Structure 1
Amino acid sequence: MPHVIDHRGGVWSIAVPIPDNPLGHTLVHLLATDRGPVLIDTGWDDPDSWDSLTAGLEACGTAVTDLHGVLVTHHHPDHHGLSARVREASGAWIAMHAADAAVVRRTREAEPGSWLSYLIDKLTAAGAPEDHLAPLYAARAEGRTSALPENRPALPDREIVPGELLDLAGRRLRAIWTPGHTPGHVCLHLEEAHPAAHPGNGRLFSGDHLLPGISPHVGLYEDPDETLHADPSPSSRLRSSRGDPIGDYLDSLERIGRLGAAEVLPAHQHAFTGAAERVTELLAHHEERLSGLRALLRTERTPWQLAEAMEWNRPWERIPYGSRTIALSEAEAHLRRLVKRGLAEPVPGSDPVAYVAV
């Protein structure tokens, strides 16, 4: 049986599995409207995930062919993966913030191998060791530059405009731009009384921005074209004006904390109350993280060396190969925040560039 929860007031959640992922599933939300049901996110593009989504919709008393629209909180494949298949089955529109729509467009238009070359350059600049780079060099030399997936991510046909009420008949759902986890992440605020009369200001579909027990990954916004516009100096990547994901995330958290939502309906784990308290915890967590990194930078380190020295959920030597690249991106995002605050700076003449606290 599908894992479905009726949150009342025309809102349900459907657990759609993510294959081979410790998160287990994405909570796809279904919202009834006067023009037909609307999905908030769709889940991973996988046959079992599709079966779980369609069975969940049936358990909610509807069918995928009845869907009127899809609201995508952000472009990641566990949220946007099945959007194309939903649109094909139902004719539903797909809406997304413009910044994440641009990421989808770049992904669709990228030449095979461009992301691999970008990754090699990025890791080299960060000081990654040869044993981490070797498999990527070998893949490029042997022409194993994987082509784009057959089912490319769907281009949205509507834009989610921050601050505006969405065009959903009979519902008051307002978009709130919450960059950090991705440049175009949005939370969706249901400005209606809570069906159980919980105190507070409506309900919040928080995507990955606000989760009850974990902090979302916040790394540098990836853009293979950024080198075309950046300063050629080795420290340009962390001095870049093209984004400050940690700063964006902290600012976004504060905006969400001020909403006073009665209940949060996230895309992972479970629904919860106490949004403002959870925001305070996450703000403190990231400030502690930044303080810890600044302490590590009493000794000059490359971004890779900084990632190796940071505390993760397991020792560095037990972190899988691919996850080390993700960890590096998170370390660089925190390092960029320190640089922008004037609390760290590049060491002149270092190559790859190292950083030190100031």
Structure 2
Amino acid sequence: MEITGTTQREAWLARLTPPVEQVREDLWSVPVPMPDNPLRYVTSYVFALAGGGLGLVDTGWDSDDAWTSLQAGLAAIGGDVADVRGVLVTHMHGDHNGLSARVRDASGAWVAMHPADAAIVRGMSETDVEQFIRDQTAFMVSLGADEETAASDAPTPERLAGLRKQAVPDRLLEDGELADFPGWSLRALHTPGHTPGHLCFAEERTGLFLSGDHVLPRISPNISAGQRLEEDPLRDYLTSLASVGDRDEPVEVLPAHEWRFRGLGLRTRELTGHHEHRLTELLDAIRAHPRSTPWELAGYLTWSRPWEQYANAMRMFAVTETDAHLRLLASRGLVVGSGGPVPTWTVAVR
């Protein structure tokens, strides 16, 4: 895999925010900071549109600092938020859709998203925050957490307030459709896994590939199970990776985090190998610790830091990612859940 965003990577290693960069003629990357997050920033891509105006792919986290950075980034290329005609959102997470409402209010731009994520955003805008916290706490208890720990790990009302303010899209974009960016040929590709409605965009005129969070150059995106037991997000993700990896090799990959690179096919194979290794590690943990809950099994796995340092949202995502791997093992017939309010897991007898 070849690193093409060398300035981005150098800034990353120096723990700095990279500069605004011109990626191609009429296309720029604008880093937008993320508060209290190890990913540090999300990259918004800015397209100059035929006939005038700008199009954005992702907008950044909804904070005053992020808003100021996005405005400054647009000013650096000679533009303004008022010039934005449309916003493509790769997926519904707050670091990608958070500023879309402010952009729309300031410019009148449309906001587009896949229908699956649009439904989640619409539901969040209408949800009762206290009930959501109770439901999230109950879900973590069903994965093996005790009541007190589950309550402490649940998102706070303040954090959820920001999610409720996210822009509900006014346009829906299905797999295979072309985005309304005049002068460009951005083909939407539905790549579920990280979220149910994640979209990548293949720019057919230039050969660029905007990968959102689906394929990142250094880390594996979080793949978490949700409260609907019929969901199998890791299976969705691996299927999406295969479909992306089988495409003609793009000229360059433009991810939402870290840095640009070449070698999409190789990176998809690396990510698939990572998850298969993870599945094997989890299966070994179940053999060594039969009748364990997802919460307990997460503590037996290898993470980027000692398990004892995990807490709150980081721990919650680790446990729900473990549950996603359990669901795929179960669908492959390799493990069996006990059923009941807090299922435990054993290796299937074959």
TM-score by length of 1: 0.87
Offset of residue 258 of structure 1: 1.6
Q: Pairwise mapping of residues 156-305 of structure 1 onto structure 2 (< 5 A)?
A: 156-193=169-206, 202-221=207-226, 226=228, 237=229, 240=230, 243-259=231-247, 260-298=249-287, 299-300=289-290, 301-305=292-296
Which deviates more from structure 2 when the two are superposed, residues 328-337 or residues 106-115? 106-115
Q: Hey, what does 1:80 align to over in structure 2?
A: 97
Offset of residue 351 of structure 1: 5.8
1:42 aligns with 2:90: no
Q: Distance in 1 between matches of 2:19 and 2:269?
A: 31
Q: Pairwise mapping of residues 3-18 of structure 1 onto structure 2 (< 5 A)?
A: 3-18=19-34
8 Å contact kept, 1:2–1:52: no
1:111 aligns with 2:124: no
Offset of residue 131 of structure 1: 4.4
Alignment identity in percent?
A: 45
Offset of residue 145 of structure 1: 5.7
Unaligned runs of 5+ in 1: 194-201, 227-236
Q: Distance in 2 between matches of 1:206 and 1:22?
A: 19
Q: Hey, what does 1:318 align to over in structure 2?
A: 309
Q: Secondary structure at the match of 1:246?
A: helix
8 Å contact kept, 1:181–1:216: yes
The structure showing larger relative contact order (alpha-carbon pairs under 8 Å, at least 6 residues apart) is: 2
Q: Hey, what does 1:329 align to over in structure 2?
A: 320
Q: Distance in 2 between matches of 1:26 and 1:173?
A: 20
**Shift in alpha-carbon separation, 1:38–1:121, aligned structure 2, 3 A:** same
1:99 aligns with 2:116: yes
Q: Distance in 1 between matches of 2:271 and 2:153?
A: 35
Q: Distance in 2 between matches of 1:152 and 1:48?
A: 17
**Shift in alpha-carbon separation, 1:148–1:304, aligned structure 2, 3 A:** closer
| Partner amino acid, structure 2, of 1:184 | G
Q: Distance in 2 between matches of 1:262 and 1:148?
A: 39
Q: Secondary structure at the match of 2:201?
A: strand
Unaligned runs of 5+ in 2: 1-16
| Partner amino acid, structure 2, of 1:174 | R
8 Å contact kept, 1:108–1:148: no
Q: Secondary structure at the match of 2:144?
A: coil
Number of residue pairs the alignment of both structures matches: 327
Q: Secondary structure at the match of 1:356?
A: strand
| Partner amino acid, structure 1, of 2:150 | L
Q: Hey, what does 1:24 align to over in structure 2?
A: 40
**Shift in alpha-carbon separation, 1:127–1:221, aligned structure 2, 3 A:** closer
Q: Hey, what does 1:356 align to over in structure 2?
A: 346
Q: Hey, what does 2:6 align to over in structure 1?
A: none
1:149 aligns with 2:161: yes
Structure 1 vs Structure 2 CA RMSD: 2.0
**Shift in alpha-carbon separation, 1:339–1:87, aligned structure 2, 3 A:** same
Q: Secondary structure at the match of 2:326?
A: helix
1:51-94 deviation line (CA, Å, top 9, x unaligned): 11011011112111011100000000000000000000000000
Q: Distance in 2 between matches of 1:111 and 1:147?
A: 13
Offset of residue 171 of structure 1: 1.1
Q: Secondary structure at the match of 1:283?
A: helix
Q: Hey, what does 1:199 align to over in structure 2?
A: none
Q: Hey, what does 1:346 align to over in structure 2?
A: 337
